[in-house]
Amino acid sequence: MSQTRRTLLKASLALGAASALPFPMLARAGEKISMKCGTNVPMTHPIYLRLQEASEKILKDSDGRVQFKIFPNGQLGGDTEMLSQARSGSLEFVTMPGVILANLTKMASLNSVGFAFDNYPEVWKAMDGELGQFIREHISKANLMVFEKVWDNGFRHITSRSPIQTVEDLQGVKIRVPVSAMLLSIFKSIGSSPTSLNFSELYSALQTHIMDAQENPLPIIYTGKLYEVQPNLALTGHAWDGYWLLSSKRIWDKLPQDVQQILSVHLNAAAVEQRKDSEKLGLDLQAELTTKGMNTTTPDKESFRSKLAQGGYYAEWKKKMGDEAWDILEKSTGRKI
């Protein structure tokens, strides 16, 4: 084989290998970077809207070099599928609710302890402080890079067939909850009958009275049109949860530092703006759901806390989470739990 043919063959093989390499390797040669971000929220949700806005700023600040593409509505798979993809490096970014992420690392649900927070100022002080940092450190141990600012999933509330005025009104009620040990534990401890069910099956289950009640943040209650099959809304705010923006650590570590900086600046800023959107949306939706015919009640939270304490809920989760985690939680909420 002539020297020229050898050279051409080597060049051809090198080109073929390069085209198959992950984008971070190409980025070092100044090539354009295209990244995917999977999320389970619809295109009307504040998380998607702010991610899309950040995407445009990332493209502009990188001089067109970095494309950050968002795939809403679970287009890339369910939560557990996308999380698995992110950990393996086949998906660059994903937004993940803490209660779902807790199936991988239990500390991700530390902020969702029942009735730990009463309002958003308490939440953001904790999640932008020591509590948030503690949770991020534990999530990062699962081969994930966690962005500094957590996004808002909202306080969780209950819809039901019968009005809920007190904790006693939930005794024996068949309530749907996500696949979350924390949420299952809350409702078992107060005497309900919780069952995990896919969200895609929830509307039908409520319509046919297989389930008497369910719990979710207000945007999910509204976009899922659950007001059509549930006449009552109880603003319990029994748990707050956020969406963590995660990246495959293997991919993130290979990104050029300037790209990491651009992504961090715009995605963290987008999270802060989304929090404001979400809080306003929650207030607007309370009024909107009333116009849809829902009867709204605001049960006393202290009666729920008392019932959980009597049922051993807090003692159980303190043991599961450990003294260090529980001390940080209580310090962050400003109350003994």
DSSP 266-330: HHHHHHHHHHHHHHHHHHHHHHHHHHTT-EEE---HHHHHHHHHHTTHHHHHHHHH-HHHHHHHH
Please check whether residue 209 is in contact with residue 230, taking contact to mean a CB–CB distance below 8 angstroms: no
Residue range 48-63: mean pLDDT, rounded: 97
E-only strand ranges, 115-262: 144-146, 151-160, 174-177, 193-196, 213-217, 232-248
Please check whether residue 268 is in contact with residue 148, taking contact to mean a CB–CB distance below 8 angstroms: yes
Is pLDDT above 80 for 86? yes
Is pLDDT above 60 for 12? no
Query: Which of the residue ranges 13-17, 110-114, 140-144, 297-301 would you say has the lowest mean pLDDT?
Result: 13-17
Please check whether residue 35 is in contact with residue 254, taking contact to mean a CB–CB distance below 8 angstroms: no
Output 217 or 1, whichever has higher pLDDT.
217
Please check whether residue 262 is in contact with residue 58, taking contact to mean a CB–CB distance below 8 angstroms: yes
pTM (predicted TM-score): 0.86
Residue range 116-145: mean pLDDT, rounded: 96
Give me the residue label for tokens 């659950």. Answer: 226
Helix (H) or strand (E) holding 159: strand 151-160
The CB density around residue 78, as the number of other CB atoms within 10 Å, is: 15
Please check whether residue 169 is in contact with residue 236, taking contact to mean a CB–CB distance below 8 angstroms: no
Please check whether residue 313 is in contact with residue 189, taking contact to mean a CB–CB distance below 8 angstroms: yes
**What's residue 30's pLDDT?**
62
Please check whether residue 126 is in contact with residue 333, taking contact to mean a CB–CB distance below 8 angstroms: yes
**What's residue 9's pLDDT?**
33
Looking at the chain, the whole-number percentage of residues with pLDDT higher than 90 is: 82
Output 153 or 20, whichever has higher pLDDT.
153
* CATH number given to 26-333: 3.40.190.170
Please check whether residue 288 is in contact with residue 222, taking contact to mean a CB–CB distance below 8 angstroms: yes
How far is it, in rounded angstroms, from Cα 111 to Cα 116?
A: 7
Give me the residue label for tokens 């966690």. Answer: 146
**What's residue 323's pLDDT?**
97
Residue type, 25: M
CA distances from 70 to 76, 95, 106, 166, 222 (A): 10, 10, 27, 42, 23
pLDDT band at 21 (very low <50, low <70, confident <90, very high): very low
Is pLDDT above 60 for 29? no
Strand partners, 36: 69
Is pLDDT above 50 for 203? yes
Give me the residue label for tokens 């073929």. Answer: 16
Residue range 306-328: mean pLDDT, rounded: 96
Please check whether residue 192 is in contact with residue 173, taking contact to mean a CB–CB distance below 8 angstroms: yes
pLDDT band at 198 (very low <50, low <70, confident <90, very high): confident
Is pLDDT above 70 for 28? no
Question: Which tokens is 246 given?
Answer: 């995660």
Q: What is the pLDDT of residues 33-44, one digit of tens each?
A: 999 999 998 898
Please check whether residue 97 is in contact with residue 154, taking contact to mean a CB–CB distance below 8 angstroms: no
What's the mean per-residue pLDDT of the chain?
90
Please check whether residue 274 is in contact with residue 50, taking contact to mean a CB–CB distance below 8 angstroms: yes
Residue range 91-95: mean pLDDT, rounded: 97
